[in-house]
């Protein structure tokens, strides 16, 4: 574009050359260097891979923790299968986060088209939400074990945070520092919930009714607080 100013005086070749020599090369950021094919530093690869590996590890740990003791029959097997598939698919989605999907697939061959449809399917479904629901359902199918459930809850929150950090690229330390107080408070409530479950009469009678009312109020409050105006 700068070539236009000088174009007439310098002749066509000069005009084009002048245009090529200027700015854009200076203007590219880190992302541009990456797109240009320069090798990523090992630190950058680690920074990208670490949250994804953490998410995978936490997901697998949650599934394993909720599955114990293993039961291979009935609804438990189904819940376990759904949970494991969700964790696997979610991890795959995170691993393939940078693979672009072209807008037009009209001229593609069958293998390429299948691959991009697979990618789209992986990215469309909410695997983590399905996984959370399936893991809690699996936990409910087991006999009551308060501390076990509390640890599962902590693992699930950690898994969701790791997934979020991996997919958003947010700085993990800064994000966790900002939310530290709330997380600590949440961990306290988690422990209180487990402790309350150990109290006699918590699962039947008046205590159970009180807990149910409390749960309904909490759901309503959560919805009101979270939904944007």
Closest approach of Cβ 53 to another protein, in Å? 19
Pick between residue 45 and residue 219 the one whose CB is nearest to another protein.
219
Cα 162 to Cα 59: distance, rounded to the nearest angstrom:
9
Residue appearing with tokens 């789209």: 120
> What burial class does residue 77 get, using C-beta atoms within 10 Å of its C-beta: 0-12 exposed, 13-18 middle, 19+ buried?
middle
Give SS3 for 12. helix
CB of 60 to another protein, least distance (A): 17
Q: How far is the CB of 201 from another protein (least distance, A)?
A: 11
Cβ 4 to another protein shortest distance, Å: 6
Shortest separation between residue 67's beta carbon and another protein, angstroms: 17
Q: How far apart are CA 139 and CA 65, in angstroms?
A: 9
Which one, 16 or 49, has the nearer CB to another protein?
16
Comparing CB distances to another protein, the nearer of 112 and 129 is 129
Q: Which is nearer to another protein, 50 or 187 (CB)?
A: 187
The residue to which tokens 């593609």 are assigned: 108
CB of 66 to another protein, least distance (A): 11
The DSSP code for 106 is: T
Q: Peptide bond preceding 69: is omega within 30 degrees of 0, i.e. cis?
A: yes
Indicate the residue among 108 and 218 with the shorter CB distance to another protein. Answer: 218
Give yes or no for a contact between 156 and 61, defined as CB atoms under 8 angstroms apart: no
Tell me the three state secondary structure of residue 76: helix
Tell me how far apart the alpha carbons of residues 86 and 91 are, in angstroms, rounded to a whole number: 8
70 versus 226: smaller Cβ distance to another protein: 226
Q: How many residues does the chain have?
A: 229
- DSSP 8-class letter at 143: P
Shortest CB 111 distance to another protein, Å: 23
Q: Which is nearer to another protein, 2 or 81 (CB)?
A: 2
* Tokens (6 digits) for 19: 């245009």
User: In whole angstroms, what is the distance from residue 14 CA to residue 20 CA?
Assistant: 10
């Amino acid at each position: 574009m700068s070539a236009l100013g000088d174009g007439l005086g310098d002749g066509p070749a000069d005009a084009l050359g002048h245009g090529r020599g200027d700015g854009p090369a200076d203007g590219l950021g880190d992302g541009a260097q990456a797109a240009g094919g320069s090798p990523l530093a090992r630190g950058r690869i680690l920074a990208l891979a670490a949250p994804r590996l953490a998410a995978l590890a936490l997901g697998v740990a949650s599934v394993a923790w909720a599955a114990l003791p293993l039961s291979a029959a009935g609804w438990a097997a189904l819940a376990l299968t759904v949970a494991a598939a969700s964790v696997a698919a979610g991890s795959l989605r995170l691993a393939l986060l940078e693979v672009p999907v072209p807008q037009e697939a009209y001229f593609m061959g069958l293998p390429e088209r299948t691959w991009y449809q697979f990618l789209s399917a992986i990215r469309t479904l909410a695997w983590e939400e399905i996984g959370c629901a399936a893991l809690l359902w699996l936990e409910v199918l087991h006999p009551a074990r308060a501390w076990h459930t509390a640890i599962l809850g902590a693992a699930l929150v950690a898994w969701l945070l790791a997934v979020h950090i991996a997919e958003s690229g947010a700085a993990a330390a800064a994000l966790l520092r900002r939310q530290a107080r709330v997380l600590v408070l949440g961990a306290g409530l988690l422990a209180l919930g487990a402790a309350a479950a150990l109290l006699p009469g918590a699962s039947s009678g008046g205590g159970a009714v009180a807990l149910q009312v409390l749960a309904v109020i909490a759901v309503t409050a959560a919805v009101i607080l979270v939904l944007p105006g």
